Amino acid sequence: MKTLAVLAMLAMAASPSLVRPSSGNLRAGGLTISPAGQQLILDYEVGGGKPYYVRALQRPTWPEGKSGVTIGVGYDLGYNTRAQIARDWRELPAGTLARLQSCAGITGIAAKLKAREVRDILIPWELALEVYQTRTIPRFAEATRRAYPGVETLHPSAQGAYLSWVFNRGEGIGSGGRDLEKRLIRRDTPNAMPAVPKHFLASQRIWVGTSNGVGLCRRRRAEANLIESTLP
């Protein structure tokens, strides 16, 4: 697949923290992620890869809900600091970078309005992919390991499903009802894995009837199915 070939070249050349063995698995941030796990994230963040990205996501967007202004491969400016944005996107011109930094910390409806202010900015696919591979993935892989101890012992496809979950939902695990499935997944990883896909599926309750619920529920099912495929 062309997308995975591009990922492989970037991973091997751009960062010592990213290693792609001959198996096609990606090692980053202490996780080993199968090609299927890598593709799952690309499917739900950028419609599978470059063609959809170029058509619909080159400019900053607002994915609705509690999201901030989002660029590249699922890079939410609202949940990154100005300093982090400066480090991750340092290849951009100074003026463009400053405008993107102004989106830091802005989420929800305010981000919807903010997205209109920066809509003229274009982020090339090659740069979006480089930032995703060399900065975003290692950071979220480490966050996944913190949130779900033992995840690194799972099958690489299951690790990819967990990474997708954290990429979408964050590593925080609270005590409220919204995070019930997060707590159950943490409890059952890695010693009660047959129960874990059910927790992913149960979490669909959060998005039923919401404006972006169809896509998020589909993503939860894809994650659950990928984990299920690795079980005895």
Q: Note the pLDDT of residue 129.
A: 93
Rounded Cα distance, 155 and 23, in Å: 13
Q: Residue 3: what pLDDT? A: 36
When pLDDT is cut at 50, 70 and 90, the band that residue 97 belongs to is very high
Regarding predicted confidence, which is higher, 18 or 62?
A: 62
CA 58 to chain centre: 17
Q: How do residues 100-143 score in pLDDT, each as one tens digit?
A: 999 999 999 999 999 999 999 999 999 999 999 999 999 999 99
Strand residue runs (E) in the chain:
18-19, 26-28, 31-33, 70-71, 75-76
In sequence order, the 6+-apart residues with CB closer than 8 A to the CB of 85 are 77, 97, 100, 101, 103, 104
223 exposure class (CB count in 10 Å sphere: 0-12, 13-18, 19+)? buried
Residue 54: alpha-carbon gap to chain centroid: 18
Q: What is the pTM of this model?
A: 0.86
Give the pLDDT confidence score for residue 138 in this predicted structure. Answer: 96
Whole-number pLDDT of residue 13: 36
- Look over the chain and give the mean of its residue pLDDT values, rounded to a whole number: 91
Helices 156-169 + 137-147 axis angle, to 10: 100
* Structural domain boundaries in the chain: 2-56+136-228, 59-117
Lowest-pLDDT range, 18-22, 174-178, 222-226?
18-22
Say whether the peptide bond before residue 124 is cis (omega within 30 degrees of 0): no
3-state secondary structure of 230: coil
Structure confidence at residue 65 (pLDDT): 87
pLDDT for res 211: 86
pLDDT digits (tens, 9 = 90+) for 22-75: 479 999 999 999 999 999 999 999 999 999 999 999 999 999 888 999 999 999
Query: In the CATH scheme, what architecture does the domain 2-56+136-228 have?
Result: Orthogonal Bundle (1.10)
For 150-186, the pLDDT digits (tens) are: 999 999 999 999 999 999 999 999 999 999 999 999 9
Task: Name beta bridge partners: 70.
Answer: 61, 76
